[in-house]
Amino acid sequence: MALEPWEPGYALEQKRIRRANILQKAYSSLVNTWSKEDREQCHLNPLILKMVVESYFSDLDRKKEFHHIEFADSHKRAGYTVKWLMKFRPVVPIQEKLSIKAILANEHFAAFVAFRFLDVPSSAIPEGVFKHILYALRYRPIDANAWALSFFLLQEAYGIKKLSASNGHGAK
């Protein structure tokens, strides 16, 4: 049952709904780049996605409260999103025989969403680095803070550079 605007928790519920919608749209954008065969092998489970979003906000809100942070930066948002996407794995197979892309669909989805939080186009990440990211997401323990640092470094290495006159490197 949905909360009414005057009820406690309404704002948080709306924030969670918006985030779930953003993730659903991101998933659609990602799989639209896949072949029809890959796309038809899995789907995004909305109930599991809801659990991802709720866990993300609970976890990140605890961190913000503990550290007295009003807003989490893009790297923390990416790290915590990846953590919960990989814990719950909301992209589920719908066939027995799966392509490697479908097998790694949650890893692809987590990386795709993380890069959207950053100023890093997916196409800017070298293929070898991207394969290492997928491998780490699949086989290594997921620590949101470690991923936040990794995403900061990825943004520094491959992100869109914002030049300004204040840093002495502006166009002349």
- pLDDT for position 51: 96
Q: Is 132 left (phi over 0), alpha (psi -120 to 50) or beta?
A: alpha
Instruction: Using a pLDDT cut of 90, give the percent of the chain over it.
Output: 67
Task: Find how far residue 67's CA is from the centre of its chain.
Answer: 22
Domain boundaries, the chain: 12-159
Which H, E and C letters describe 53-106, residue by residue? HHHHHHHHHHHHHHHCCCCCCHHHHHHHHHHHHHHHCCEEECCCCCCHHHHCHH
**Cα gap 4→97, rounded to integer Å:** 45
Q: Do 129 and 135 contact (CB within 8 A), yes or no?
A: no
- pLDDT for position 23: 97
pLDDT(145) > 70: yes
pLDDT in tens, 70-81: 887 899 999 999
pTM here?
0.86
- The three-class DSSP label of residue 43 is strand
